[in-house]
Chain A
């Protein structure tokens, strides 16, 4: 694992001042000159009635923002990964164990991120990666669970995403997970709030269009956690969902809620086939 420096964060702040620039929608993403990222591919079968192809949010960002994700030294999100590397090997809780004690090197977790959220048989529920990490903390380490989408949890999610970069998202939507997936699908098409807007209104019917100063993407989650130039930190999916629902003048849901777990599963499944890209850079 490379080590990263504060320089990346400074770069981020200067880019923020730039005017809205249109994206080069034909650029291709290769990270560090070696990790090839699929940012455009055929839509998975379960949404082929509404979309022909699925596109990563990276394709909708300006050239400058796109470039920041092409080298880990320019990607401020990698600072979170670096911090999680320390956490990974630090013992915590009553059992005195670290993640590394059970799992070895973080690279051994490659392939985990692409299949989450995932059905957990013993628990009888669909679990996000953060829920699974907390299960390890509570039941194997005897440590306190981390707050949902809180920095330490997001950094760990970023580390787990980073070692799976380039692998295709492949969440299961059938079998026991189907009911949760259906719940998420219904939410995706619900027109919330006083503005009566659904996720689909913006991200299915209008991706590629400007909504005031924002260039609408498909609202895919393959790039999460995302480092946003807007708030200069790593952001979790549920926090993003919360913001989008709040912007419809609605009473939103909380990160970690059953509703957002279901929505995460559904939205993640819309990106099956895109590469895991987190931590990504967005505006």
Chain B
């Protein structure tokens, strides 16, 4: 009995903020400039979690392409995209949400991957296995992870 309860709590926590307010990738609407005004979850983003997502190779891996001085203790920042220092000054929260969810709505044909998108891929694979995808397509980041990343970017002033 006890075991079931724990499992259930763990499961709910694991689902994160997949609550009634979560907007699915297929249901989001960008402004003409590529911004996303509405929160994807209705739950405020956590900048500490956001920094983890940005640094981690298995999550956002943003620093593969971007340098961020604030994360200088994480080794190897790339130089494919612009340095993100000051991103919170240059962009509004809505604009940053749009860039992280699908940068191609802001920057035409951007090289930056779309982190909250589930369709339109060519030869979608099963993560990094090289095999074909099976089952339902998960976006690269969850709705809450996007919010966390945006919250962190907003601290870069």
Q: A128 CA to B64 CA in the complex, in Å? A: 34
* B132 lies within 8 A of A194 (CB): no
A211-B65, A246-B130 known; A194-B79 Cβ under 8 A: no
Asked whether any CB of chain B lies closer than 8 Å to the CB of A197, the reply is yes
Residues of B within 8 A of A249 (CB): 124-125, 127-128
Asked whether any CB of chain A lies closer than 8 Å to the CB of B156, the reply is no
* B128 lies within 8 A of A246 (CB): yes
Asked whether any CB of chain B lies closer than 8 Å to the CB of A257, the reply is no
Q: B80, B127, B130: which has the most chain A beta carbons within 10 Å?
A: B130
B110 CB, min distance to chain A CBs, angstroms: 9
Number of interface residues of A (CB under 8 A): 26
Residues of B within 8 A of A194 (CB): 113, 121, 124-125, 140
B107 CB, min distance to chain A CBs, angstroms: 13
* B113 lies within 8 A of A209 (CB): no
* A209 lies within 8 A of B79 (CB): yes
Stretch at the interface among A58-66, A149-157, A185-193: A185-193
Residues of A within 8 A of B86 (CB): none
Q: A20 CA to B75 CA in the complex, in Å? A: 11
Residues of B within 8 A of A252 (CB): 123, 125, 130
Contact of B113 among A190, A196, A210, A211 (CB under 8 A): A196
Residues of A within 8 A of B114 (CB): 196
Contact of B122 among A193, A210, A212, A246 (CB under 8 A): A193
Q: A195 CA to B80 CA in the complex, in Å? A: 14
Q: Of residues 35 to 63 in B, which have CB atoms within 8 Å of A's CB atoms?
A: 57, 61, 63
* A246 lies within 8 A of B65 (CB): no
Residues of A within 8 A of B16 (CB): none
Residues of B within 8 A of A245 (CB): 123, 130
Asked whether any CB of chain A lies closer than 8 Å to the CB of B157, the reply is no
A194-B140, A196-B114, A197-B111 known; A212-B123 Cβ under 8 A: no
Residues of B within 8 A of A197 (CB): 111, 113
A211-B80, A213-B76 known; A251-B113 Cβ under 8 A: no
* A212 lies within 8 A of B61 (CB): yes
Q: Of residues 104 to 157 in B, which have CB atoms within 8 Å of A's CB atoms?
A: 111, 113-114, 121-133, 140
Contact of B79 among A191, A193, A205, A210 (CB under 8 A): A210
Residues of A within 8 A of B78 (CB): 209-212
Contact of A193 among B65, B75, B123 (CB under 8 A): B123
Q: A248 CA to B77 CA in the complex, in Å? A: 18
* B130 lies within 8 A of A210 (CB): no
Residues of B within 8 A of A191 (CB): 122
Residues of B within 8 A of A210 (CB): 76-80
> Knowing that A194-B124, A251-B133 are A-B contacts, what are 12 other residue pairs whose CB atoms are under 8 Å apart, sorted by A's residue number?
A20-B76, A192-B123, A193-B125, A194-B113, A196-B113, A196-B114, A209-B78, A210-B76, A212-B78, A242-B130, A251-B132, A252-B123
Residues of chain B at the chain A interface (Cβ within 8 Å): 57, 61, 63-65, 75-80, 111, 113-114, 121-133, 140
